[in-house]
Each structure stands twice: as C-alpha cells, then as structure tokens.
Amino acid sequence: MRFFRENAQYIGLGILIFFGATMFAGSVFFGGFSSTEDSQTPVDFSRELAVLGDKPVPRESVMKELNRVAMQLNLAQSKERVSPEIFELLQHNALMQVVNNMVLLQAAKESNLKVDKKDVKTALQFVYQENDLKDKRALKQRLKDLQVPYKQYMASLKEDILVKKFVSLLHSQVSVSDDDVENKYAQVLVRHILFAQEEGADNEEKRVLAQSVYDKIKGGLRFEKAVQQYSEELETASQGGRLGWFGTGQMVQSFEDVAFSLKKGDVSEPFVSDYGIHILKVDDRRVLPKPESFDLEKEKVAILAQKRASYLNRFIQSEFKRLSFEIQDPFFKAYEAKLTGDVQGAVRAYQLQISQNPYSPHSHYLLGQVYFVNQEYKRAIDELRKASVKAELSEGLDFPELHLLLGRAYLADEQVKDMLNELDKAFELGKEDLGFLKQLKQTLEQKKLTRRLKKVDKEILRLEVSQRSQA
C-alpha cells in the first residue's frame, strides 16, 4: 500500500457510477450498450481481459467506456497531456465501471423488479430530448447510421432501466438523521483490539475468542491490558490500541458506525470490518465548530448522497466477493496489483506488458516507478533508461515525467551529474505544462537548485499570465 500513499493525488479521481442524466444518452452517442441477452459464454477464459464469476468482462465494452470518458474529458482536443499514470487510472476506472454495471445488472435480474411499458416510454422520451430526436423513427435512423441494431439497443436500454430501478431500491434503504449531521461536526478518540481473520476460513475460533475477551472486559479486565494480551495489530498494540482522533469519512463504514454510536467510556461488542473482528473503546468525544452558513437540511441532503454512494459501493464489493473477480490482462492487472499492495504482481504484469508491446516506453516507466517507490534505485534507473531510449527513438513518445523520475532516481543513487541532465530534459519537454512545472519546482526546491528554479518560476509565471488573459 506504500505505493499509493505516495501517489495519492491519482487515487483521488476515484471511480464514479453515474445514473440518470448520462445513462441513456451514452448509449446513443458512444455505443455504450452491452446487452447480455445473446452473449455466449466461452469455455476458455484465458484470453479474456477479466472474469466476473462465470462471465467474461467484454473487452469492447471497456474500450467504449474508456472512449466515452476520453470524449467527456475532451482529451483529444485538449492541450493537456495525459501522463502514463493518469491513463492507467482512467483505464482501470473504465474496467471497473463496466464490471460494476455487470454486478448491478445481475443483482437486478435476480430481484423481483420488472421493467414495464411506462418505464420504457419515459426512458425513450429522455433519449429523444437529449439527442435532439423527434420520435422513434428518428432514433432508428440514428442507430442505423451508427450501425447499432435497434433490438440490441432496446435490450440494452431495458437493462439500464432495470439497473436504475435496482439502485433506487438500494438507495431507499439508506436514511439520514440529525445525529448524522452532529457526527459530521464531531470527533472521537478511540482505541481498539483487533482479531485478524483469514480470508475464506471459518474463523469461528476468532469469533469465540473476541466474545470471550469482551466478556472479560465487561467483567473488569482493563481495556489496555486486553489490548496487550489479545490484539493482533502490533502497530497499535504497543500504544494501548490507540488510533487517535478521527471524524466521519476517515475509517471504513462499519468501524465508523460503531465508533460514533458509542458514548465516552463505552466499549463495543465485537463486530466485523474488512480488516477483521474489532472491540472498540471510545476514550473521548469532542465537538467541532459549525460554519456560519450551516443549514441543517442542506447538510442532510449532502450526507444522504454520501451514505447512498457508500452503501452502493459496499453492496458491489460484497458481490465481488460472492461472485469472484479476476483481472487477467497485464495492461489492466498491473494497476490492480499496485492498488492491493502486490508489488511482485505489479512487476510481473509490467514485464508481460513489455514483452507484448516492446516498443513502448510507458511500461518501462511505470515499472521503474514501482522500483523507485520501493527504493530499488538501480533497478529503477535500468528501467527508466530503457524507457528513455525507446521514447527518443519515436517522435512524440517522450514525456517530462520520465526524465523527472529518472533524475530523482539518479539523485537517490548519488549520480548528481546525470540527475541534472535529466532535470534539464524534463524542463524542456514540460515547459508548456503548468501542472508538470509545479511538480518540477517542488523537486528543485527540495534540492535547492536555485538557477534552475528561477527558470521554472519564470515559465510558471508566463503560463499563469497567459491563462488569466484567456479566462
């Protein structure tokens, strides 16, 4: 997980699931349908991008989703470059969007929900309005122009409606109270005991042990003593199980729900989170100041939206565990491996990428980045040099982030002259990119490279003035 703590700026983009306004329009403009009615399940999944349960994830659907996002962000016409890290993230998000929709569609089909004629009529009216179409005849003509079979489109539209109804059903199970608002402006000081669970195991012994420890605490055993004797999280056990102060949105939902339901001095019964079985004790609570613009009803609306999104995400994650999900394509698998902290898995995936696309510098760069974060500087330099050679061989493939990272790797390996050369290359390649120049500035400030810093500041000022004049 260390990789993603150090690259958190990319994770912030997240994975968003949109329903409503963009749902039906996307089908017409981008071919974003993927009806499963006529699909044939292949026996051999080895060449599939990913597999969810017993169904392959359609590669075509993922590419269409990636294309939709690219068009939405106007990447083709934009002057902003897309770095390999950002492209890798967008690619992963496109995959997960398709998989999330597959999960929800399967769950919706297993429910008792139905799509009636009124639902279809309402959806079609929305499609006509959003796409400037007069009627069904105009829609059929548009689909014909796009080479999309009408029956296939309608099957996909009905599936979209069914998913939307199912999501609405999930949302209806979420509510918000005044206490939720008060908790938003509060923090708790918590300590805990963790009983780790093995994935796929029964874990009955752990549940029995947790209940036994809880009974002992209620019978008079000091919580701090119980932490020392039983907690399996070594990092906090040496500190009496202390987790420090935290507010809402900072812990997994099940942990947060229990913590904020307790009063000062209370001890929770054992409960399960993604990390294992916990027993919590709230040492203290404190109230945070509310803003002058505080509005209770607006706060409730915002919190309800957050809770619905969280509930939907938890449902999808539970379905992943039930159905099983595996990414097989190395061009998608590497990011997932980094996300789960599987460094060796990421290395293997990038090496497979290189073997399948030997002329691209990007896989070498991303592999070098993994080595750099893990402080394997000589390996990082080796991969980044390969990336640099391949980037220079093909016009338009070179990019400033490569040379900035190579410069930092040289510095870590105490090769100062090579570091300066790479930072100069990075500057020349990225001097029209304001965001990159600010990254470069941070490195130059850290290393106190005053002359180069002045050049970067000058270019940053030029680009900022130009942006203001165009605004």
Q: What is the predicted pLDDT for the residue at 75?
A: 72
Residue 15 has pLDDT above 60, yes or no: no
Residue 120 has pLDDT above 60, yes or no: yes
* Identity of the highest mean pLDDT range in 40-49, 295-304, 316-325: 295-304
CA distance 385 to 388: 5
Residue 202 has pLDDT above 90, yes or no: no
CA distance 95 to 334: 13
In 3-state terms, what secondary structure has residue 108?
helix
Q: Find residue 399's DSSP bridge partners.
A: none
* pLDDT tens per residue across span 412-456: 999 999 999 999 999 999 999 999 999 999 999 988 999 999 999
Q: What is the predicted pLDDT for the residue at 447?
A: 87
In 3-state terms, what secondary structure has residue 277?
strand
Counting beta carbons within 10 angstroms of the beta carbon of residue 32, is it exposed (0 to 12), middle (13 to 18) or buried (19 or more)?
A: buried
Task: Tell me which residue of 357, 429, 421 sits closest to 399, measured CA to CA.
Answer: 429
How sure is the predictor about 78, in pLDDT bands with cuts at 50, 70 and 90? Answer: low
How sure is the predictor about 402, in pLDDT bands with cuts at 50, 70 and 90? Answer: very high
Indicate the pairing of strand 242-246 with strand 186-195. Answer: antiparallel
Amino acid letter, residue 66: L
Contacts of 456 (CB under 8 A, 6+ apart): 427, 437, 440, 441, 444
Residue 340 has pLDDT above 70, yes or no: yes
CA distance readout (Å), 109 to 52, 71, 104, 195, 306: 16, 31, 9, 37, 26
Average pLDDT value over all residues in the chain: 88
Amino acid letter, residue 31: G
Average pLDDT rounded to a whole number, residues 323-343 = 94
* Ramachandran region, residue 31 (left: φ > 0; alpha: ψ -120 to 50; beta: rest): left
Residue 40 has pLDDT above 70, yes or no: no
Contacts of 9 (CB under 8 A, 6+ apart): none
Task: Tell me which residue of 189, 190, 182, 187 sits closest to 303, measured CA to CA.
Answer: 182
Task: Tell me which residue of 23, 20, 30 sits closest to 148, measured CA to CA.
Answer: 30
Tokens at residue 385, please? 């040099």
